[in-house]
Structure formats: structure tokens, C-alpha cells
Structure 1
Amino acid sequence: MRFGLLGRLDVLTGTGVAVRPPGALPRAIVARLLLGRGAVVQRDVIIDELWWERETKDPVNALQVQVTKLRSAFAAAGEPDRFVSGHGGYRLVLADADELDTVLFEDALREGRDHLRAQRYDAAEQRLRAGLSRWRGRALDDLFGRPFDAERTRLEGLRAAAVEEAADAGLALGRAAELVPELAAAVREEPLREGVRRRYMLALYRSGRHTEALAAYEEGRKILDVELGADPSPELRSLHSSILRHDPSLRGTTSVSPATAPAPPPRRHAEGTSCAPWARSSADGTTSRRCGSGSRPGGSSRSWVPAASARPVSRWKSAACWPRDAMPCGGWTLPRPTHRAHRRASPPPSVSPTRACRPASCPTTPCTASPPSWRNGTSCWPSTTASTSSTR
């Protein structure tokens, strides 16, 4: 049989025949026994919970009469042995093949949470959606009384949590735009639930609807102020501030990874020139890069070396390219000259000037400068000192 409590009470036999308890009180008895999930519910508990507002001289006898009516209704649908009395109470027998939608929903919720913790977002969303599909309306919709009110509150809380966690999985999978209508409805249904509103704002932001995300926050702030005299939670205020700043962390985790991202185009430095590999290794084994031929901005025809490619990179200044003849053989990078007659500068303290000079792969010739030095391109580099000089 199939029993439904996530909506109006629904009872169907295995062949699809509906069992219709005769009246509101018999329906309440069936629902109360279903809340026991096959366990015995004491007679006094049933009377206290279902007859506490009814003026009945003999509630025990009244309960027996209602159970007899239920047995007849189930027997007429082909299920004669479902109600069993004993141990001071009654129980509704649930076979292994029977389905109770509250149990199926909670099982799906538990499995979905396990998948979500393990970051298996596809499986998490599938299980959570399967659980939410069991709902047909408000839980225990046509039943009234203390036990049903408490259980309704519990189940509705689990439902809202399932909506939030399904939204978490969907956001992680990049389905923000698809989630907006569902979360908008959830916010209208429970305007004071900040968890739903927070995910609604995030879904709007990731869908490119930034102003609507800010408006959703303002609406929630006003509702909290008017109805409770309270401010939004720190989590909601933090999200609001992040949206105002366009914090990059709000974009989610589904952007293109560096491994799959397309390679950027070559950097352009001068009229139609671009950086290309420079087949020269420095003294410490690192490979530098050289800009292709072409003129630098300003008209000079020097070759230029991208600073980001020289190893080790200078800690002094960041620049796109360095003059080829200002690059020592050792591979460390000089500050970019500020005028046409460029200045030489001292290497970083961690780089030895002797290590920077005369590698095997560097075309060098003795220089006549004093003290003894080596010529690299058009510049002389001291072999024992790193004094700053200028060439004009």
C-alpha cells in the first residue's frame, strides 16, 4: 500500500484502489497511527490527542467504534488485516513493500546531504529533488490537533532545508538562472527564512540580475524590521556587501579551470610585434624570452625582452619588455630605462655580478673598460663590481 501525509491524507492499495476513511475523526486516527510508523500507539495517547476538545462521555468506547469503521473500510478495499489491537493500544501494520511518503522523503534528504558533503553535486541534486517530488501540498493539510501541528512544523522545516540544499547543489553546478523561479516562490512562502533569501540573492546575482539581488535584500530587511524589529543576520549582510563590491568569490566554482581555459593571445608590444621564444639559456639554466623584431614605442629598433619571462624576475619594477642590450647574461632583469640613453642598474643583492656574466651561451668579447669586464651586445658589464653607471 501507499500512504501519503505530505499533503492531504492519501491511502492507496497496491492495485491503486483508494481507501476513504469515513469522516474527519477516522482520518485523524489513520494519520496518528501512521506517525507511529508501524509501532503501537497507546489508547490513552490517542484519546488525549484527538478527543481533548471533544465532549465525549466514554472516549474509549468512541475510539473502538471508529477503529471498527476503519477496519470495514480497509477490508472493502482488500486490506482486512491492517488494524491490530494489543498492548493497550492500536497499530497500523506496515509491510516491507508499503510506501510512506514521509519516510521516503527523509531517506532522500539524508542521502542528498551525504552526497552534498562529498561534493557529488549531481547525485545530491537528484536525490533532493526526488524527495521534494513527494510533496503534494502542505504536510497533513486536512488534519488538525496538537500532534499534527507539531509534525507539520517539523516536516515543513525539513522541506525548506531540502529546497536550500538542492539550491546549493544547483548553484555549484552553475544552474543559477534555473533556480531563480523556484527560490522566488520559496521566499514568498517563507519571507522570514533568511537561508532561502540568501540563496535567492546569490542566484539572481549569478544570473546577471544584480539590482534585483539588492532589491531582494532590501525587501527582506524591511520585513524583518516591521514584523520583528530585527536586523538581517550577519550572513545576509555579508552577502549584501559582497554584491555591492562585486566580489569575485560570488561567481561560484564552475568557471573554466586553468587547465581547460583557452590560451591567451600573444602579448603585443609594438607595431605588429609579439613575444616569441628566445633560444638562449641563462647561466642558472633558466630560459628567457625575447620580443620579435620591430620597433619599440618611440621609434627605437631595439629588441625587447618581456620582464615576466626573465628569471629571476626583478623585485624593483614591473614592465612589459626590457632592452635586449640592457639584459645581463645571468638572466636577472634591470629596471626599464626612463630615457633614450638608458641607465644600467645594480643587480638584486641575491645575484652575483660574476655569475651574471659570461655564460657559455652568451656571445661575449673582452671589453676595454676598467676594471676588467665583459661585453654583452653593446654594453659592458663589470665582472667584480655592480656599480651603477650610465651610457649616453
Structure 2
Amino acid sequence: MTLTVGVLGPVTAWSGGDPLPLGGPRHRELLARLVVARGRVVDVDLLVDALWETPPDGAVAAVRTFVAALRRALEPDRPPRTPPRVLVTEGRGYALRAATDAEAFTAAVERAAGLPPAEALTELTGALGAWRGPAYADVGDRPWALPERTRLTELHSTAVERTGAARLELGRAADAVPDLDAHVTAHPWREEGWRLLALALYRSGRRPDALAVLRRARTRLVDELGLDPGAQLAALEHDVLTQAPALELGPDPWARATASWQRAAGPRARLEATVGLLRSLSRTGAEGLTAAREQRLATIAAAEELGDPLLTARVVGELDVPGVWTTSDDPQQAAAVVAAAERALPAAGADAVRVRLLTTVAVESRGLPGPRGAAAAREAEELARALGDPALLAAALGGRTLQVFDRCGRAADRDALGAELVELAGRHGLTDSLVLGHLVRMQARSALGDLAGAGEHAAALDGLAAAHDRPLVGVFTGGWRALRAAVEGAPDAEERFRAAARLRVGSGMPGVEDGLLALTLACLRVSRGEPVPPAGPGGPYAPWLEPHHRLAAGEPASVAALPDPPPGLLMEALWVLAGSAALAVGDLAVLARAQEALAAAAGELAGAGSGMLTAGPVDDHLAAWAQAAGR
């Protein structure tokens, strides 16, 4: 059972929610002294001094007796002659190894400081609910307890004030009044408490009471401390007198609007609003993208539970997010989304809804086996062109860009799709599709060896990212600049690739991050004809890296069981690794497979279609392999 020691009030302890028999006052004081130490060892002599001003004879033995009794209380089920795990002995002292309500309270208040108002309110009310105060209530005025008691009291006041502020931001001014009123009565020197109470009264329609509170604060500060109110209290009093409009707005209009929406909107309206919010979140950066991905299936499930097939179809289709990387960030979730889209398709009577659902299938099928993704992408494009809706067509073209990988050498086809996206999105002000189009063209022009053209798209992307707050764009343009440096023969290419990889860490795109640095460095070395030692986890690319690692270590290697690379942006690069390893071990069958697959990519830079890495010109590898096989 979970053990917690409590000091936010009288000293106590619980196991599984049930109070434990701790013994008399000395036992509790001893336990409190160990809590104050926060897990550090307290020498037995210090414990004696903590419990008695004038220690009696046998005080050390008494402390040890108290410790033994506390151990029985805290670990009643500990087998005989087994070492204690909660109140442990170290040298001449003792330490407490247990969770405390003071630690949990501190952590909750600290967490709340970085949360939106609604989440902060939940965190703070939970923390304040654990306060049985005052802290260390039954240890008297012991000097060793005073600093920790003062800290916790100050933290409690902060939590009360932040709770009031959160309620104000959420438009719940009347709810904030009772706790704030009690707070200023108990702590009359805290100006923030007076300010929040007056503001809460004003927003509750109690302007005279707000003025009375402010004047009461002034009187107490002047008469008892000889201090005038601070600038914030003085400004608030002026604003209340003049009924300043700013008092009604609140510090966070978004939070107040959200709170009103949650109270007023029905389940369908809230669900459709959630879809828009998740789409926006996915574009705000790593944290937003991760949050959107985490909530996506729950939103779809909520739509299905309402039993409205057309609503479900709209929710699934509108949750699509443009993708540029052909490896899914979460294959399991992607498969579940595809399944939900397929279930919703029969209800999608409107062609527009059907296009959205098919686009979702196309986007989320990237990296999944089978032809369904490509077929869905083609059907979505055909329907969108027939409907003449530019936003639908842009979405469908985005799905197509992730399905043009049935064989190597499709960079020119992908570039054409990107060019249409750029033109269409630019003409109709479709920012997301414009970003996607430039990303696709930056990748495709790189694969075709046109670094100057790719650079123009990279520059356009950086401009769009700055203008429209798209922080994830920098992950791709940063990777592309490292790629360009490598192609141009920069001596520090490896370090530039490592710097680009650091941009991907924590980006919220594990499909882009996982194993890519190891693959990047391997491709760089193969392009230079150098051995390939391990350079970190290979992730999904490990099968193509392992033969090279073994060869670099002088160990036997085999490629006989090596699978064909999956379709995607890295297909050509993986074929280069397969063919190079096959040549090194003399496996002509695998070498022939690599030659046949890469023949269609003649004239391209292997792997550069990713915009992140390259294994060098495909022509160079084909020529070297042909020459070696000829011998």
C-alpha cells in the first residue's frame, strides 16, 4: 500500500488511505524532524537535541525506542529480521524514505505555475484540499520546524491567491470571493490577496464592496504598518472608482471565452470545435503536435459514440493534418485512424466529406503495407478536381505526395505535385498547403540535384515559418542546409548533420527523429567510400546499417536476408546501403536487386529527396557496381 507521511497539519501517516498509529507526542516530533530533513540522514545526537531542551539520561536509547516503534507503525507487514525500507539506519543516524504531503503540495503548486487557468485550478484545488494546517501543528515552536513551517505557510498563501486568479481568468469571480475573503482575514499584509478579492467583488457586480475592501486594506496598512498601499492596489482603486473598461476584460480573454464555451455549447458543437483546435495545435510546435496526436483517437471515439455517422465522417476527415515525411510518427495510431476513416466512408454522402476521408486514408497509410493508400489518394484527387474546390484539391494533392513511392526515381513526379500545390495554395491563400508545397519541392529539387532551386524553396519556407508561426519548418530547412553542405563537400558536414539532428530532438515527430542520425552518417560515409562504424541507435533502419557496422568491425556480414527497403523518401538511400554491403560481401543476387531498383533513379542524389541526407549520386554507385560485377 502507498505510504504517505503528513505534516500539513498535525503530524500523521497513512497507508492506503488509512491512518497509522504513530504513538505519542515524542514519536510524532521525531517523525516530523525526519520529514524536515527531506530524506537526509539525521544524526542521533541531533534527534536528541530536537526532542529535548535538556536531554535526560538515556535519551539516545529513548530515541532508538521511538524509532523501533515508528518502524512497526510505518511498516506493519515487514517480515522479522528484514531491513526497514521506510525509516532506515545509516551510520549513527536515521533517514525517512517515504512520500510526504508537503512534497506533493510543493510539487503541485510548482506545476500549476506553468499551466493554463483551467488546468492550474484543478491542480491547485487538489493541493489545497490536502492542507490540514497549520503545518507541523503539533510540534510547538521547535526551532528546527520554524523554517519549513514558514515556507509551507507562504506556499499555501501563494496557492490560495493563484487559485483566486485562475477563477477570475475563467470568469468565475463569485466563486473566488469566499476563499479570498478568508485569506485576507488570516493574512492581512498580503496586498495580492486584497487586490484579487476586490477584483473578484467588482466582477461579481459588487462595486461598493470592492471599494470597501480596498479602503479596508488601505486603513490596515497605514494604521498598523505605516505603509501606503502599493502601486497595484492604488491603481485598482482608481479603476474601480472610474469603472475602467479594462477591469471587465480579464487578463486572458481566451480562457474566459473557453470557459463560457464549455458551459454553453452542446456536445456536437464542442466536438467540432475540438477538431479545429487540434488542427491548430498540430501546427504550433512540438508540444502542440504531440498533444494533437494524443487526443486524436479520443476525439474520433467521442464522435462515434454520438451515433451520427455523418458527424463522425466530418470529424475524422477534418482531423487530417498535412504530412511531408513518409514514415508515420505513430503507426499504430495511423492504422486506427485509417480504420475509422474506412468505417465512416459509407456515411459520407457529400463528395467533399468523402474527399476529406480519402485524403485521411492516403496520409495515414504512409508506411503501412498494401495499395489502399495510393488508391485512396488517386480517388480523392479525382473527386476534388471534379468539385473545383481549391482547399479540397490542395488537401488531396498533399495526400498524393505521400503515395508517389511505388518505385525509385519518382522525384520529378513529386516535384510536379509540389509545384501545383505551391501555385494553387498561393493563389487561394492556403497557408498550410503552401508550406507543404514548398517542403515537397525543396525535397524533390534536392533529389534531382538542383540545390539552387531547393534553396529558393528553403528560403520561402523560412519566411512562411516566421510570418505564420510554424516552428517545425525549421527542423526541415535546418536538415536541408546540412544536406547542401555535405553535397558541396564541406569538411564539417558530419558536425552539421549532428547539429541538424539536435533540431529534431523533442520535435514531436518521432517518425522523423528515430534512427535518422545514424542513417545520415552512414550514408555520408558510404558516399565517401569510408567504413561505417555505429553512430547511435538505427531505429527502423537498423537492418540496412548492421552489415556495414559488422564490416567496419572486421566481422563476418551477410545481406542474404535483407528485406527490400520500404517505399518512402529514404528508399534510394537504403538501396545504396544494401547494394554497397552486397558488393562488399560478394552477394551478387542482392547487388542485382539493388541495381535493378535504383536504375529508375539514375541522375538523382540518393536519399536527398528526404531533404535531410544523401548517399551520393545514384549514377556513381551504379557505375561502381557495374564495374565490380563485370570483373
> What band does the TM-score fall into relative to the shorter chain?
0.5 to 0.7
> What residue in structure 2 maps to residue 112 of structure 1?
112
CA shift, 1:79, in A, is: 4.8
Partners of 1:165 and 1:73 in 2: CA distance: 37
Match of 2:11 among 9, 12, 18: 9
The verdict on how the C-alpha distance between 1:17 and 1:209 changes in structure 2, with shifts beyond 3 A counting, is closer
User: Which digits, 9 at most, give the CA deviation of each residue in 1:251-302, with x for residues without a partner?
Assistant: 1234998xx9xxxxxxxxxxxxxxxxxxxxxxxxxxxxxxxxxxxxxxxxxx
Partners of 2:93 and 2:112 in 1: CA distance: 36
> What residue in structure 1 maps to residue 220 of structure 2?
223
> What residue in structure 2 maps to residue 348 of structure 1?
none
Partners of 2:120 and 2:74 in 1: CA distance: 38
SS of 1:137's equivalent in the other structure is coil
Partners of 2:128 and 2:73 in 1: CA distance: 30
Partners of 1:35 and 1:251 in 2: CA distance: 44
Partners of 1:163 and 1:219 in 2: CA distance: 20
User: Which digits, 9 at most, give the CA deviation of each residue in 1:300-334, with x for residues without a partner?
Assistant: xxxxxxxxxxxxxxxxxxxxxxxxxxxxxxxxxxx
> What residue in structure 1 maps to residue 29 of structure 2?
28
Task: State, as a whole percentage, how many aligned pairs show the same letter.
Answer: 36
Match of 1:136 among 129, 132, 136: 132
1:90 aligns with 2:94: yes
Match of 1:200 among 197, 201, 209: 197
The verdict on how the C-alpha distance between 1:243 and 1:107 changes in structure 2, with shifts beyond 3 A counting, is same
CA shift, 1:201, in A, is: 0.5
Alignment of 1:34-73 (within 5 A): 34-51=35-52, 53-73=53-73
1:191 aligns with 2:191: no
Alignment of 1:261-280 (within 5 A): none
Partners of 2:176 and 2:226 in 1: CA distance: 30
CA shift, 1:60, in A, is: 2.7
Contact kept in structure 2, 1:171 and 1:252, CA below 8 Å: no
1:123 aligns with 2:127: no
1:146 aligns with 2:143: yes
> What residue in structure 2 maps to residue 324 of structure 1?
none
CA shift, 1:83, in A, is: 2.4
Alignment of 1:297-336 (within 5 A): none
Partners of 2:78 and 2:193 in 1: CA distance: 43
Alignment of 1:159-198 (within 5 A): 159-198=156-195
> What residue in structure 1 maps to residue 103 of structure 2?
103
Look up the equivalent residue of 2:13 and give its one-letter code: V
**RMSD value, Cα:** 2.3
SS of 2:89's equivalent in the other structure is strand
> What residue in structure 1 maps to residue 241 of structure 2?
244
The verdict on how the C-alpha distance between 1:102 and 1:172 changes in structure 2, with shifts beyond 3 A counting, is same
Look up the equivalent residue of 2:11 and give its one-letter code: L
Look up the equivalent residue of 2:139 and give its one-letter code: L
The verdict on how the C-alpha distance between 1:71 and 1:176 changes in structure 2, with shifts beyond 3 A counting, is same
Partners of 2:15 and 2:117 in 1: CA distance: 36
SS of 2:13's equivalent in the other structure is strand
Look up the equivalent residue of 1:28 and give its one-letter code: E
SS of 1:37's equivalent in the other structure is coil
Partners of 1:186 and 1:79 in 2: CA distance: 44
The verdict on how the C-alpha distance between 1:43 and 1:55 changes in structure 2, with shifts beyond 3 A counting, is closer
Flag the structure with higher strand content: 1
Partners of 1:106 and 1:240 in 2: CA distance: 33
Contact kept in structure 2, 1:172 and 1:252, CA below 8 Å: no
Partners of 1:67 and 1:154 in 2: CA distance: 27
Look up the equivalent residue of 2:77 and give its one-letter code: G
SS of 1:146's equivalent in the other structure is coil
Structure having the higher Rg: 1
User: Which digits, 9 at most, give the CA deviation of each residue in 1:174-211, with x for residues without a partner?
Assistant: 11111111111111111121111110001011111111
> What residue in structure 2 maps to residue 78 of structure 1?
77
Contact kept in structure 1, 2:6 and 2:101, CA below 8 Å: yes
Look up the equivalent residue of 1:44 and give its one-letter code: D
CA shift, 1:138, in A, is: 1.5
Structure 1, gaps ≥5 residues long: 261-392
Partners of 1:181 and 1:13 in 2: CA distance: 33
Contact kept in structure 2, 1:170 and 1:179, CA below 8 Å: yes
